[in-house]
Amino acid sequence: PALLRASSPELLRQLRGLALVRGGFVSEGEVAELLREVEPGLGRGRYQSDHWDRAITGYRETERRLRGGAGLALLLRVTPAFPPCRPPRPSAHVLDLLPEGGVGPHVDSVKFCGCTIAGVSLLSPSVLRLRSLRDPQEWLELLLEPGSLYVLRGAARYEFTHEILPDEKSFFGGLRVPRGRRVALIFRNDPPG
Ligand code: OGA
Ligand code: MN
């Protein structure tokens, strides 16, 4: 089944290569190793809500420099998604969401994040929705299976908000996508200047 849905074929064409999703980017064995590497940084319990930068609920997060074998291998494999002169930062943003947790619509701060965002989803499927800032009728949905990679760049990064749907809103078109706990490793590059 397609991993991308859009409000129109034109929009799908317009964002081709700018919003993309690749299933099976990390294997189950790698998933286990990645979780072992990043989970200690998340602390115990204490999921929070709200964030100065974006509406977010039921989450824990940390920035983690990847040092383990699976982490470094993943960093190497996501690097080609970035421009050669603007590689990803060596620290991944680790975002742990409860099933009922979601990330509200936002655009990543241009002060702290460059032109490319690449996210690897672990444990639970989820839906990432993009909505045009110019025309809210224009949207794109990405179905993020566990082990998948998505990339947002160019117009998809700057001209659309993105959000992760909480369990009660987690649908990919007519397809219900039941959310469990989801851990994402998000790679970003530095803004220019
Ligand atoms: C964010 C964000 C998306 C994800 O934290 O800014 O958009 O894949 N997260 O969890
Ligand atoms: Mn974001």
> Which CATH number is 51's domain given?
2.60.120.590
Domain extent at residue 94: 4-188
pTM for the predicted model, two decimal places: 0.96
* Whole-number Å distance between alpha carbons of 184 and 61: 9
User: How far does the centroid of ligand 2 lie from the alpha carbon of residue 76, in Å?
Assistant: 21
Tell me: pLDDT of 13 over 80. yes
Angstrom distance (rounded) from CA 174 to CA 193: 44
Q: Are 5 and 141 in contact (CB under 8 A)?
A: yes
**pLDDT beyond 90 at 90:** yes
Give the number of the ligand closest to the Cα of residue 56. Answer: 1
Say what the pLDDT of residue 44 is: 75
**11 within a domain of the structure (yes/no):** yes
- Looking at the domain assignment, is residue 17 inside a domain? yes
Residue 118 is assigned to a structural domain of this protein? yes
Closest-CA residue to 37 (of 68, 8, 14, 15): 68
Q: Is the pLDDT of residue 52 over 80?
A: no
pLDDT, residue 45, reads 66
Domain assignment present for 193: no
Residue 130 to residue 162: CA distance in whole angstroms: 4
Residue 159, pLDDT > 70, answer: yes
Nearest-ligand number for the alpha carbon of 142 = 1
Q: Does the beta carbon of 164 lie inside 6 Å of ligand 1?
A: yes
- Name which of 140, 114, 127 is nearest 179 in CA terms: 127
Instruction: Count up the domains in the chain and report the number.
Output: 1
pLDDT over 90, % of the chain: 88
